Amino acid sequence: MQIKTKESMHAIIVDQPGGPEQMRIGEVTRPEPRSHELLVKISATSLNRADILQREGHYPPPPGESEILGLDIAGTVVGKGDDVLSWEEGERV
């Protein structure tokens, strides 16, 4: 099963630290999964405490990781890195 995705995606973007008014939905370049990662087409997400702290500027993502909020997700695998052996495209996560 092959699921087609666009070259871009929608994401929650925070342009500067602050309250919820700093969040907006925008379009960003769709990432390519690294060797140990999955690319998931999101069906549902939430903002958890870490996301809120990141939005407020108190909890930066680790170096090299995404600034996009939404650590908790559900969706369908649409891509995977070469070292991922336990998931296949089309599986729900």
Of the candidates 45, 59, 64, the one whose C-alpha atom is nearest the C-alpha of residue 14 is: 59
Q: Which two tokens stand for residue 19?
A: 């309250």
Residue-range domains of the chain with CATH: 8-80 (3.90.180.10)
Determine the Cα–Cα distance for residues 8 and 25; give it in Å rounded to an integer.
13
Helix (H) or strand (E) holding 73: strand 72-80
Q: Mean pLDDT over all residues of the chain?
A: 92
pLDDT of residue 1: 46
Determine contact, residues 63/72, Cβ cutoff 8 Å: no
Residue 80, phi then psi, degrees to nearest 5: -155, 155
Give the global pTM.
0.81
Q: What is the mean pLDDT of residues 86-93?
A: 97
Per-residue pLDDT of 58-72, as tens digits, reads: 999 999 888 999 899
Per-residue pLDDT of 35-56, as tens digits, reads: 999 999 999 999 899 999 999 9
